[in-house]
Amino acid sequence: MDIIFEKVEHVYNANSPFARRALYDVDIMIESGSYVAVIGHTGSGKSTLLQHLNGLLQPTSGTVTVGNQTITNKKRQRDLKPLRKKVGIVFQFPEHQLFEETVEKDICFGPMNFGVPEEEAKKKARELMKLVGLPEDVLAKSPFDLSGGQMRRVAIAGVLAMEPDVIVLDEPTAGLDPRGRKEIMEMFYRLHQEKQLTTVLVTHSMEDAAAYADYMIVMHKGTVWKTGTPQQIFQDSDALAEIGLNVPETVRLKKELEKKLGITVPSPCLTIEETVDAIQKLFSKVNAHDE
């Protein structure tokens, strides 16, 4: 299910003195099965953009096409409901949306809203426990008796339970400790790989974007500044710095090394493993040369 934005503009409070253009001239394409990272400053239009993916917001002008459904400003909100099953959003601090008495009920809430029978939803909930790394006995507990990290996982399970074709993640690890962060990111990556789940990650972490995404959208002041593979995006660190963004630390290390040693490191150095390999190669080459 491809997602295509054509000339999308969004103005909040249109036709009022408080009107504010949050998005304009957005032309992007999110290919089915890809992992796309959206980066940009707070206020760059990222979160407005992501709300267009499942019709929570409708473009003021332009069109958003998700699979075979088109969203324009003329669509009625009611007609957009089927879309929400296909595109699940994990909002920032998703644990704030929990409300049922038990974890199980909360996870089943989404799917049942879309007409999935209770039994099936419950079965799904049990399966998801394992995926999000929680013991099954948590299902019977109240979500409000859990720790913050556990609540986050329950909330994520609640979105996954709808079995969306596309999952949109808005800073899914904000406020977690490093281990929690890593576990959650790895889990989404596994899902993406195993089920070809189209994943859109909105993040401040260049490291996560570099490590997981195969395509990036850089937002700046309400419009798309640049798109490309992480390698392309992070090649020009000076340009990124101009709009106040950094390159991942792996890329920074690579650049510093190249400068200091007067060489070129061929690897893009997008993950720690790649970087370590690249540096090791550097030294083995020297060794080979010596002999």
Partner 1 sequence: MMNSMIIGKYVPGDSVIHRMDPRAKLLVIFIYVFIVFLANNSATYAILSVFTFSLVVLSRIPLSFVLKGLKPVIWIVAITFLLHVFMTKEGDVLYQIGSFSIYEGGVKQGVFISLRFLLLIMITTLLTLTTTPIEVTDGVESLLGPLKKVHVPVHELALMMSISLRFIPTLMEETEKIIKAQTARGVDFTGGPFSERIKAIVSLLVPLFISSFKRAEELATAMEARGYRGGEGRTKFRQLVWKWTDTAFLAAVLVLAVVLFALRS
Partner 2 sequence: MEDTILSVEKLSFRYPNQSDYAVQNVTFQVKRGEWLAIVGHNGSGKSTIAKLLIGLLRPESGVIKLFHTVLDERTVWEIRRRVGMVFQNPDNQFVGTTVEDDVAFALENNGIPRDEMIKRVHEALRQVQMEEFLHHEPHHLSGGQKQRVAIAGILALRPDLIILDEATSMLDPKGRQEVLDTVRNLNKKQRITVLSITHDLEEVAKADRVIVMNKGEMMAEGTPKQIFALGTKLERIGLDLPFAVKIRDRLKQRGIPLSSSYVTIEELVEELWTLYLKR
Asked if 193 interacts with partner 1 (CB under 8 A), we say no
Q: Which of 16, 68, 77, 287 binds partner 2 (CB under 8 A)?
A: 287
Cβ(55)–Cβ(252) under 8 Å? Answer: no
Q: Shortest distance, CB of residue 76 to partner 1, whole angstroms?
A: 9
The item of partner 1, partner 2, none sharing an interface with residue 260, based on CB under 5 to 8 Å by kind, is partner 2
Q: Which of 42, 68, 78, 179 binds partner 1 (CB under 8 A)?
A: 78
Q: Which of 120, 177, 236, 242 binds partner 2 (CB under 8 A)?
A: 177
Q: Which of 110, 172, 222, 248 binds partner 1 (CB under 8 A)?
A: 110
Asked if 256 interacts with partner 2 (CB under 8 A), we say yes
Asked if 272 interacts with partner 2 (CB under 8 A), we say yes
Cβ(40)–Cβ(245) under 8 Å? Answer: yes
Q: Which of 113, 193, 196, 232 binds partner 1 (CB under 8 A)?
A: 113
The item of partner 2, partner 1, none sharing an interface with residue 48, based on CB under 5 to 8 Å by kind, is none
| Residues 131, 139: Cα–Cα separation, whole Å | 13
Cβ(198)–Cβ(34) under 8 Å? Answer: yes
Query: Tokens 């980066």 label which residue?
Result: 39
Residue 63 corresponds to which amino acid? T
Question: In the window 92-131, what residues touch partner 2 (CB under 8 A)?
Answer: none
Residue 159 corresponds to which amino acid? V
Q: Shortest distance, CB of residue 114 to partner 1, whole angstroms?
A: 5
| Residues 125, 103: Cα–Cα separation, whole Å | 9
The item of partner 1, partner 2, none sharing an interface with residue 15, based on CB under 5 to 8 Å by kind, is none
| Residues 43, 95: Cα–Cα separation, whole Å | 23
Asked if 68 interacts with partner 2 (CB under 8 A), we say no
Question: In the window 4-23, what residues touch partner 1 (CB under 8 A)?
Answer: 13, 16, 18
From residue 288, give the alpha-carbon distance in Å to each of 26, 254, 281: 51, 22, 10
Cβ(118)–Cβ(108) under 8 Å? Answer: yes
